Amino acid sequence: MNFPILTIATFLPLMGAIWLLFINKGKEEKIRRIALVTAIGSFIISLPLFFNFNLNTHEFQFVEKVPWIKEFGISYYVGIDGISLFLFLLTSFLTLISILASWTIKDRIKEYMISMLVLETGMLGVFISLDLFLFFVFWEVMLIPMYLLIGVWGGPRRVYAAIKFFIYTMAGSVLMLVAIISLYFMNYKATGEYTFDLVKIYELDIPMGAQFWLFLAFFFAFAIKVPMFPFHTWLPDAHVEAPTAASVILAGVLLKMGTYGFVRFSLPLFPYASHQFVPIIAWLAIVGIIYGALVAMVQEDLKKLVAYSSVSHLGFVMLGIFVFNIQGMEGGILMMVNHGLSTGALFLLVGMLYERRHTRMIADFGGLTKVMPIFAVFFMIITLSSVGLPGMNGFVGEFLVLVGTFKSNILYATLATTGVILAVCYMLWMFKRVMFNKLTNPENQKLKDLNKREWAILLPIAILVFWIGIYPKPLISRMDASVNHLLTQVDEKYKLTLNRLEKDKIKYAMKDELPELAQYQED
């Protein structure tokens, strides 16, 4: 067996968290350093995943499989493909950045860092699990530290926000658990084997009626996470109350769990139901794109604005996933990464303002470019990346999604493209009110520009923004094999079901009209 990169990268943060348990909580500097070093370690270890990734296979790579609870067919089965690779890298990158951004946390720093590191293990685990049970465990594991981060280190209404987040997500998870268990038993019925092995369950031929219900159960779990309109109202509350780093993780990674779930589970497991649900999902996505943008436009709180913009962006991702072609899917996945980078960076930038001024109200700012010119440059870059300016990362994903959508439905594409106009409206209007005009508020007079740590946080993101925008090939080419395979897999299974449906129809029709012939055929 090869070097277990995935396991080490995933569990290193947990080790770090355990290490922190034994550190005296007075040693704040040491606690920070340990957390940072663990996060860096995890990130560096995960880098070979990118460089050694085999472009020519859709099979899962860097696979590790060890039986866990044999009696129930549960195993520790992990691996990545072109779909999860970038989400995995994004997670370890953003956690690292978030820990760096949490340097100014004073309150219970030890517990805070422990939560962050446990959260990282949970998130990384979600993206690599190929065993449904393992997946669910990780899915639940990450929920608790996030709940704590919002509920303990959050703003004034943190308890309401944390509970709302928790209950919303839980409601979805419960349904998903039911669906997972049903799949487990169905698989047993079909093959006689008790297993949670996702790759085996992919082979399962699920009857249409069951597909419908199971899809729906997964749908709620994922749609809440995404969040799709109208399941999104937990998001603005959670973001507003959450500390900066939690917002970064929430927007950057946690939302992607929903869209990733659709790609990894809903589509390949329930292709027929997925196709049937396209109109509903596409319309919800389009409403999300436009509604999210419009509501974002009139927000008075910077964090809420960014939160609603996420609803809009994730609408694009959903649309891309559910048009069933390569441009849409690759665009969707790329957009998950891009959204993680630019929205994550937006929350970081807002956090930097908040640390200085202890307010996030747009009206309290204005003319900041004068006193914070370097901050202004980064803010501008990220703003433009978020509105999808060509040459920057956001455009590539967004355009591919739109092309993919256009191929399958011109009306959807046209409506979604209006989001391109609206994005400029809400982002640039906000930018204008915060950064431009005359600096009138005396409290803004003496704001300090970025310090070295903040430079170190923003610079890597800015580099990635341009890299993905100008030369996205290393990313897209790594997705090709997996996405192609996924789409053919879905397509074949969908056609199979359709064929059967057709045959059934013919059979019924024959039975009705020509009983003798039907009898003859059956013989």
Binding letters toward other proteins, positions 286-305, x by CB under 8 A: -----x--xx-xxx------
Q: Is 109 in the site for other proteins (CB under 8 A)?
A: no
Q: Is 424 in the site for other proteins (CB under 8 A)?
A: yes
Of 421 and 509, nearer to other proteins (C-beta) is 421
Q: What is the DSSP string of 61-115?
A: EEEEEEEEEGGGTEEEEEEE-TTTHHHHHHHHHHHHHHHHHTTT--TTHHHHHHH
Considering only residues 407, 485, 500, 511, which one is a binding residue for other proteins as defined by CB under 8 A? 407
Place of tokens 């009138």: 440
Of 459 and 501, nearer to other proteins (C-beta) is 459
User: What is the C-alpha separation between 372 and 379, in angstroms, rounded?
Assistant: 10
Question: Nearest distance from residue 167's CB to other proteins, in Å?
Answer: 8
Q: Is 332 in the site for other proteins (CB under 8 A)?
A: no
Q: Which of 304, 286, 330 is nearest to 486 (CA)?
A: 330
Q: Is 145 in the site for other proteins (CB under 8 A)?
A: no
Question: Nearest distance from residue 191's CB to other proteins, in Å?
Answer: 20
User: What is the C-alpha separation between 55 and 481, in angstroms, rounded?
Assistant: 7
| Rg over CA atoms, the chain | 24
Q: Within a 13 Å sphere around the CA of 505, how many CA atoms are in the beta-carbon half? A: 6
Q: Is 420 in the site for other proteins (CB under 8 A)?
A: yes
Dihedral, CA of residue 286, residue 90, residue 86 and residue 400, to nearest 10: 30
Burial 194-204 (b: 16+ CB within 10 A, else e): ebbbbebbeee
Q: Is 325 in the site for other proteins (CB under 8 A)?
A: yes
Residue 10, amino acid: T
Binding letters toward other proteins, positions 11-40, x by CB under 8 A: ------------------------------
Binding letters toward other proteins, positions 215-234, x by CB under 8 A: ---------------x--xx
Q: Is 246 in the site for other proteins (CB under 8 A)?
A: no
| Secondary structure element (H or E) that encloses residue 229, with its range | none
Please name every residue paired with 301 in a beta bridge, in sequence order, or none if there are none.
Answer: 361
Question: Nearest distance from residue 85's CB to other proteins, in Å?
Answer: 16
Considering only residues 396, 450, 458, 464, which one is a binding residue for other proteins as defined by CB under 8 A? 396
Q: Which stretch binds other proteins (CB under 8 A): 65-73, 241-249, 263-271, 403-411?
A: 403-411
Considering only residues 82, 268, 315, 367, which one is a binding residue for other proteins as defined by CB under 8 A? 367
Q: Which stretch binds other proteins (CB under 8 A): 31-39, 182-190, 433-441, 504-512?
A: 433-441
User: What is the C-alpha separation between 186 and 201, in angstroms, rounded?
Assistant: 9
User: What is the C-alpha separation between 317 and 197, in angstroms, rounded?
Assistant: 27
The conformational region for residue 124 under phi > 0 = left, psi -120 to 50 = alpha, else beta, is alpha
Question: Nearest distance from residue 76's CB to other proteins, in Å?
Answer: 33
Residue 406 contacts residue 325 (beta carbons within 8 Å): no
Give the binding-site size for other proteins (rule: CB under 8 A).
Answer: 53
Cα angle at 52 between 488 and 17, to 5 degrees?
100
- Structure tokens of 55? 């472009």
- Structure tokens of 288? 């999300």
Q: Residue 497 contacts by C-beta under 8 Å, 6 or more apart in sequence?
A: 208, 271, 272
- Terminus-to-terminus CA distance in the chain, angstroms? 53
Question: Nearest distance from residue 473's CB to other proteins, in Å?
Answer: 6
Of 104 and 418, nearer to other proteins (C-beta) is 418
The total of other beta-carbon atoms located within 10 Å of residue 149's CB is: 26
Q: Is 476 in the site for other proteins (CB under 8 A)?
A: yes
Q: Is 390 in the site for other proteins (CB under 8 A)?
A: yes
Q: Is 481 in the site for other proteins (CB under 8 A)?
A: no
User: What is the C-alpha separation between 208 and 275, in angstroms, rounded?
Assistant: 11
Q: Is 326 in the site for other proteins (CB under 8 A)?
A: yes
User: What is the C-alpha separation between 463 and 282, in angstroms, rounded?
Assistant: 33
Binding letters toward other proteins, positions 439-468, x by CB under 8 A: x-----------------------------
Of 122 and 258, nearer to other proteins (C-beta) is 258
Greatest pairwise CA separation for the chain in angstroms:
92
Q: Is 399 in the site for other proteins (CB under 8 A)?
A: yes
Q: Is 498 in the site for other proteins (CB under 8 A)?
A: no
Question: Nearest distance from residue 122's CB to other proteins, in Å?
Answer: 25
| Coil/strand/helix, residue 66 | strand
Question: Nearest distance from residue 320's CB to other proteins, in Å?
Answer: 11
Q: Is 214 in the site for other proteins (CB under 8 A)?
A: no
**Residues interacting with other proteins, by CB under 8 A?**
164, 167-168, 230, 233-234, 291, 294-295, 297-299, 325-327, 330-331, 367, 369-370, 384, 389-391, 396, 399-400, 402-403, 406-407, 413-414, 417-418, 420-421, 424-425, 428-429, 432, 435-439, 470-473, 476-477
